Amino acid sequence: MHFIITTSCGIFTAEDVVLSRQRCLVLRMVKLQNSRKIEMTKLPSKPITMDDVARLASVSKPTVSRALSGHANVTPATREKVLKVARDHGYAVNRNAQKLREKQTNAVAVILDFSSHRRQRIADPFIFELLAGVSEALSIRKQDLLLSPSSLTDAGSYQDLVNARVVDGFIFLGQGDKKDLLEEMAKLAIPFVVWGAPAQNSVYCTVGSDNYLGGALAGERFVKNRRKNILFVGDTQHSEIKLRRDGLVKGLATADYDVRLTDLKSTAFSFQDSHRAMLKHLEEGERPDGIFAYSDTSAMAIISAMAEHCLQPIIDYHLVGYNDIVQSSHFSPPITTVKQDTFLAGALIVEKFVSLIAGNMPASSTIPTELIVRNT
């Protein structure tokens, strides 16, 4: 028995319908296979290796290695060709493996002196300006910077980081109360350089500004303006600040009249601490006519406290800050201060560190300071 199917397109037998269904089934299977092939091509391929980069760039594997590490023996054209192939195919050098193969890690840990600041917080912008100077100098020499708080308390822990090839050494931005620790690290020949107050017969390399000269310049300015009741604000347990006070004494000694020097201790290295200490000093009836603050941040706090007692710079007192941070020139009024060149300091610190890593024994250095006279 045969079935005849009539449609608007013509007359079809049952066999025609079966064949049509079979053809549709075959077409669907072909489409499914093709789609699977497309999906398979989208699957991630095996990661490209240095051998692959060498083959694609038509150079040797050692040439690829030298080109990627910036070796001077590779021509600019070859280096650019290798770098282009590497970028186009997503190849990147395994830095950790590279450090294990090389003698140096090209990484430096920069230690910030949090312990000298209130609640382990650094509020003074100067330390960050100095950090920027160090960072720029390290980047020029293609060195990595690892920023770290001063949580390690023994020399052995620092030695372990060097032995484990984590870093080549350390840069301490601030001595704080680490004198004994630093001397112990020096005995172990751990590479490090310190930003602080260079001292005679020191067993480690220190870079710092001429704090004594800075203090003397402040004292001479007070004498020039006939100031008689001088207040020094700072914590002289820190060697750098003590040198500033010693210099102040020298500058005041040039006066041909009697000068009184009073100390106001501010220990937390913060705006709030200096502001609170100054208000208390004023409430006790003291009225200094010359003030030398250990930092510009402290100077700003002192100006604010003095204003609360209706006392104005130049009219009622002269003031000198320290560091010449960017904000000091934009403060109202702009602050007279002692300048430390942070970018020169950063360059010198890194230069000493690189010399140390090379096996030399660099001497400590002092950068010059100068008085920047503004409106206080």
Q: What is the CATH number of the domain that holds 80?
A: 1.10.260.40
> In this predicted model, what pLDDT tens digit does every residue of 154-192 receive, in sequence order?
898 899 988 888 899 999 998 777 888 999 999 999 999
- Considering the domain architecture, whether residues 221 and 257 belong to the same structural domain is answered as yes
Residue 111: beta bridge partners?
148, 172
Whether residue 275 lies inside any domain: the answer is yes
* Count of Cβ atoms closer than 10 Å to residue 138 Cβ: 23
Evaluate if residue 11 carries a pLDDT over 60: no
Q: What is the CATH number of the domain that holds 351?
A: 3.40.50.2300
DSSP-based three-state secondary structure for 121: coil
301 pLDDT band, cuts 50/70/90, is: very high
Whether residue 254 lies inside any domain: the answer is yes
pLDDT at 177: 74
The amino acid present at 329, given as its one-letter code, is S
Whether residue 361 lies inside any domain: the answer is yes
- Considering the domain architecture, whether residues 163 and 311 belong to the same structural domain is answered as no
* Number of domains within the chain: 4
Whether residue 54 lies inside any domain: the answer is yes
Whether residue 99 lies inside any domain: the answer is no
Of residues 101, 58, 294, the one with CA closest to residue 197:
294
Average pLDDT of the segment spanning 30-36: 58
- Considering the domain architecture, whether residues 114 and 169 belong to the same structural domain is answered as yes
CA-CA distance, 90 to 84, in Å (whole number)? 10
Q: How many residues does the chain have?
A: 376
Of residues 123, 124, 126, the one with CA closest to residue 339:
126
Last residue of a domain, one of 31, 66, 93: 93
Whether residue 102 lies inside any domain: the answer is no
CA-CA distance, 342 to 323, in Å (whole number)? 9
> In this predicted model, what pLDDT tens digit does every residue of 17-26 receive, in sequence order?
445 565 655 5
- Considering the domain architecture, whether residues 144 and 168 belong to the same structural domain is answered as yes
**Cβ–Cβ under 8 Å, residues 129 and 168:** no
- Considering the domain architecture, whether residues 158 and 251 belong to the same structural domain is answered as no
- Considering the domain architecture, whether residues 239 and 326 belong to the same structural domain is answered as yes
Average pLDDT of the segment spanning 81-85: 85
- Considering the domain architecture, whether residues 255 and 306 belong to the same structural domain is answered as yes
- What lies within 8 Å, CB to CB, of 192 at 6+ separation is 158, 169, 170, 171, 172, 182, 185, 186, 204, 205, 353, 356
Evaluate if residue 268 carries a pLDDT over 80: no
Whether residue 374 lies inside any domain: the answer is no
Range of the domain at 265: 211-341
* Count of Cβ atoms closer than 10 Å to residue 34 Cβ: 10
Whether residue 372 lies inside any domain: the answer is no
- Considering the domain architecture, whether residues 181 and 115 belong to the same structural domain is answered as yes
Residue 193: beta bridge partners?
171, 205
* Count of Cβ atoms closer than 10 Å to residue 350 Cβ: 25
SS3 breakdown of the chain: % helix, strand, coil, rounded to 5? 50, 20, 35
Q: Given the DSSP bridges, would you call strands 169-173 and 107-112 parallel, antiparallel or unpaired? A: parallel
- Considering the domain architecture, whether residues 281 and 318 belong to the same structural domain is answered as yes
pLDDT at 64: 82
Average pLDDT of the segment spanning 284-297: 94
- Considering the domain architecture, whether residues 276 and 231 belong to the same structural domain is answered as yes
CA 185 to chain centre: 22
- Considering the domain architecture, whether residues 219 and 315 belong to the same structural domain is answered as yes
- Considering the domain architecture, whether residues 327 and 348 belong to the same structural domain is answered as no
> In what side-by-side order are the strands of the sheet with 144-149?
144-149, 107-112, 169-173, 192-195, 205-209, 365-367
